[in-house]
Amino acid sequence: MTCFYAHKMGFKTVVLSDIADAPATFVTNQTIIADYSDKDALKKFAQMIDIATFEFENIPLEAVSFLAQHVEVCPNAEVLKITQHRVLEKDFLNSIGAKTADYATSNFEENLKKFGKAILKTATMGYDGKGQFVLKAGDSLPELGSSPWILEKFCPFDSEISVMVVRSKTGEIKAYEPLTNIHKNGILDESHYPAKVSDSLKIKAQNLAKNIAEKIGLIGVLAVEMFVIGDELLVNELAPRPHNSGHFSMDAAVTSQFEQLIRAITGLPLGSTEFHSTGYMKNLIGDEVNNLEEFYKNPNAKIHLYGKAEAKAGRKMGHVNILE
């Protein structure tokens, strides 16, 4: 989707992917298929482009650090390093005064007793609720192996919201209004605009997201996922890239999150983050992609399909923006 918008704005794109039929390869000017550790491929990629960005934070940090020696990468490797590790991310957030759930990185049994109810998560490589175990005091822990884990206190939140914030290399910064996110089995199912929170909380959430973007030194777009508990906000996760909950901006906002990313990293002025329509984004997960009739019948539903080869259970195959 970033490639679509880059193309519309007159830029050419090159996609580096380790999967031959990755959706982005269908909509880019050129493609390099290579392992992310392939230094020759990374060098060749760097020579073909003026600026690099990423749309998935589970790419090896070493690949991005190496690439950054040859071409400008936005967001930078430091932003990626923090956001691809749940412990570094929570340490960073707390260091700048943003609140998170209580967490522990060792003595899990003891801390589980202290928390009562908690979620054990792999510290790296998790997404869509993968690598997570909900536990209560007394439960036995799963086999942990050698990878790092984090134990987070379970937050009995009222709702979940997220804010997309965009910061340009010129320092210009803007935040979209929050959306309310509804998860099913740990996977985002729907994002609703406007968020079902008070106006003052909306502003608080936008300011929180802007502060995080400034402090982390973001150039690009960043999703800030938050738990709402009364009038308090706890930051759950950061994603330094276009985010699923930002997809509603494609059809309902003056400027989509993808266009903002291109503007931010090329130093163009940012577009308006205003939403001109209310409604919601519905993910098409697994088989849901085979039942599009109701959406095609709705003239205010905008369907986006990704062209992924197989509709496996739990896989995001596309999304629909429904304007109300």
- Residue ranges binding ligand ADP (CB under 6 A): 101, 119, 126-129, 152, 154-155, 160, 183, 186, 225, 236-237
Closer of 267 and 314 to Mg ion (Cβ):
314
Q: Is 140 buried (19+), middle (13-18) or exposed (0-12) by CB count in 10 A?
A: exposed
The distance of closest approach from Cβ of residue 58 to ligand ADP in the complex, given in angstroms and rounded to an integer, is 10
Beta bridge partners of 227: 160, 234
Closer of 236 and 321 to ligand ADP (Cβ):
236
The distance of closest approach from Cβ of residue 205 to ligand ADP in the complex, given in angstroms and rounded to an integer, is 15
Measured CA to CA in angstroms, residue 203 lies from 110, 239, 306 at distances of 38, 20, 33
The distance of closest approach from Cβ of residue 129 to ligand ADP in the complex, given in angstroms and rounded to an integer, is 4
Closer of 55 and 237 to Mg ion (Cβ):
237
Closer of 190 and 225 to ligand ADP (Cβ):
225
Among 190, 237, 259, 288, contact with Mg ion (rule: CB under 5 A): 237
Asked if residue 251 binds Mg ion (CB under 5 A), the reply is no
CB atoms within 10 A of CB 321: 23
Binding partner of residue 129 among Mg ion, ligand ADP, none, CB under 5 to 8 Å per kind?
Answer: ligand ADP
The two tokens of residue 293 are 């009739």
# residues near Mg ion by CB under 5 A: 1
Asked if residue 57 binds Mg ion (CB under 5 A), the reply is no
The distance of closest approach from Cβ of residue 260 to ligand ADP in the complex, given in angstroms and rounded to an integer, is 21
CB atoms within 10 A of CB 319: 24
Closer of 237 and 251 to Mg ion (Cβ):
237
Q: Which residue is nearest to Mg ion (CB)?
A: 237
Closer of 160 and 190 to ligand ADP (Cβ):
160
Binding partner of residue 127 among ligand ADP, Mg ion, none, CB under 5 to 8 Å per kind?
Answer: ligand ADP
| Residues in the chain, total | 324
Cα separation, 104 vs 112, in Å, equals 9
- DSSP at 256: -
Taking a C-beta distance cutoff of 8 angstroms, is the pair 275, 281 a contact?
no
Name the pairing type of β-strands 51-52 and 72-73: parallel
The distance of closest approach from Cβ of residue 249 to ligand ADP in the complex, given in angstroms and rounded to an integer, is 19
Binding partner of residue 12 among ligand ADP, Mg ion, none, CB under 5 to 8 Å per kind?
Answer: none
The distance of closest approach from Cβ of residue 304 to ligand ADP in the complex, given in angstroms and rounded to an integer, is 20
Asked if residue 55 binds Mg ion (CB under 5 A), the reply is no
Alpha carbon distance, N-terminus to C-terminus of the chain = 23
Cα separation, 219 vs 262, in Å, equals 10
Taking a C-beta distance cutoff of 8 angstroms, is the pair 221, 261 a contact?
yes
Amino acid at 303: I
DSSP 229-267: ETTEEEEEEEESS--GGGTTHHHHBSS-HHHHHHHHHHT
Lookup result for tokens 């429904």: 322
The distance of closest approach from Cβ of residue 150 to Mg ion in the complex, given in angstroms and rounded to an integer, is 13
Point out which residues bind Mg ion (CB under 5 A).
237
